[in-house]
Amino acid sequence: MQDENALVTGASRGIGRAIALALAENGAHVTGTATTQEGAQQVGTLLNEAGFQGAGEPLQLQDPESVSALLARLAEQDRMPTILVNNAGITRDNILIRMKDEEWDDVLSTNLRGVFQLTRGCLRGMLKARRGRIINLSSVVAFIGNPGQTNYASTKAGLIGFTRALAQEVGLRGITVNCVAPGFIETDMTRALSDEQQGELRQRIPLQRLGTAEDVAAAVLYLAGGGGGYITGETLHVNGGMFMG
């Protein structure tokens, strides 16, 4: 991936951080985004101190002006991505009967509209170059649902339709578009659960363990690299067998 520019949204922690490091380790020049300037600086420091090429950029995905500003900076610095990983997303959990309009709108504007606007902006360069990889992070909840997450599940299911339609639009130009759908992944949130709660989660998973951010990053790396060159419009499930689609 020596000649590739990768853009990874939500790269300051968790899955996004692992993806940014995996791509950088394989030679890509990585731009990782965070919601604050401080977070962006931390992303850049993380990459550089590990000896990789890369930088951090602030991005408020739900803000069209922030998306446009990021794209302008990338174009000015000749860093427009040939690999785009749409990882950033938010949750605003609530049961539907109590869900506020803003809880619904915030999740859709970030997880769907923001992905649409950023992808559209990045596509121009890929179409001109006649190559590119677009990888969208969906979720197992798009397939099995989850109480209190009608807004989040809707966006993650929407990304799958977005992926399939876009893959058909741009395949002729050598651009692949795929989803990765993580299951239950070890995070600060799951580590805070009691042993009993973690055990209940593991009981739902045939492999009897939670996934790691590195498990997800490995799937993204495969789709972004040469091995994934003939795969498009697909969803790669990384869930330990919790859902078998």
pLDDT in tens, 75-84: 999 999 999 9
Residue 14, Cβ neighbours under 10 Å: how many?
A: 17
Continuous H helices in 109-203: 114-129, 141-144, 150-170, 188-191, 195-203
The pTM assigned to this predicted structure is 0.95
> What would the two tokens of residue 148 be?
């209190």
* Single-letter amino acid code for the residue at 155: T
Cα→Cα distances 134→101, 204, 206, 229, Å: 30, 30, 30, 11
Residues taking part in catalysis: 152
Q: Which domains does the chain have, with CATH numbers?
A: 5-238 (3.40.50.720)
pLDDT given at position 22:
97
Mean pLDDT of all residues belonging to the chain: 95
CA 45 to the chain's CA centroid: 21
Q: What is the DSSP letter of 97?
A: G
What is the rounded distance in angstroms from the CA atom of residue 142 to the CA atom of residue 245? 11
Higher pLDDT, 146 or 1: 146
With cut-offs at 50, 70 and 90, classify the pLDDT of residue 189. low
pLDDT score for 149: 95
